[in-house]
Amino acid sequence: MIPSGPDLPACTRERLLDTAERLFAARGFAAASVREITEAADANLGAVNYYFRSKENLYTEVFARRAALLRDPIVAAAREAEGCAREDPQRAFRVLGRAFLAPYEDRASTFSLLNLFAREAVESHLPSRLFVQEFFVPALDAIAGVVRQVRPGLSEASGRACAHAFFAQLMHVVKGIGLATRPVDERLEEAVRFTVAGVMHLDDAAGGPPRATTPRKPS
* Residue 140 and residue 163 in contact, taking contact as beta carbons nearer than 8 Å: yes
Three-state DSSP class for residue 190: helix
Q: What is the mean pLDDT of the chain?
A: 89
pTM over 0.85: no
- Report if residue 148 sits inside a domain: yes
**Could you tell me if 156 and 102 lie in one domain?**
yes
Do 98 and 122 lie in one domain? The reply is: yes
Q: Are residues 124 and 76 both part of a single domain? A: yes
CATH number, residue 15: 1.10.10
Taking residue 170's Cβ as centre, other Cβ atoms within 10 Å add up to 25
Residues 21 and 114 in one domain: no
- Within 8 A by CB and 6+ apart from 186, the residues are none
Number of domains in the chain: 2
For the residues of 16-49, what is the DSSP string, one character each?
HHHHHHHHHHHH-TTTS-HHHHHHHTT--TTHHH
Q: Which long-range contacts (CB under 8 A, 24 or more apart) does 170-173 make?
A: 170/97, 170/100, 170/101, 173/101
Task: Identify whether residues 69 and 152 lie together within a single domain.
Answer: yes
Instruction: List beta partners, residue 208.
Output: 204
Percent of the chain clearing pLDDT 70 (strictly above): 88
In a domain, residue 193? The reply is: yes
Query: Is residue 46 domain-shared with residue 84, that is, in the same domain?
Result: no
213 — alpha (psi -120 to 50), left (phi > 0) or beta?
Answer: beta
Summarised one tens digit per residue, pLDDT across range 151-183 is: 998 999 999 999 999 999 999 999 887 676 678
Q: Which domain range does residue 14 map to?
A: 1-53
| pLDDT value for 216 | 52
Residues 5, 25, single domain; the answer is yes
Residue 216 placed within a domain: no
Residues 75 and 171 in one domain: yes
- State whether 49 and 72 are in the same domain: no
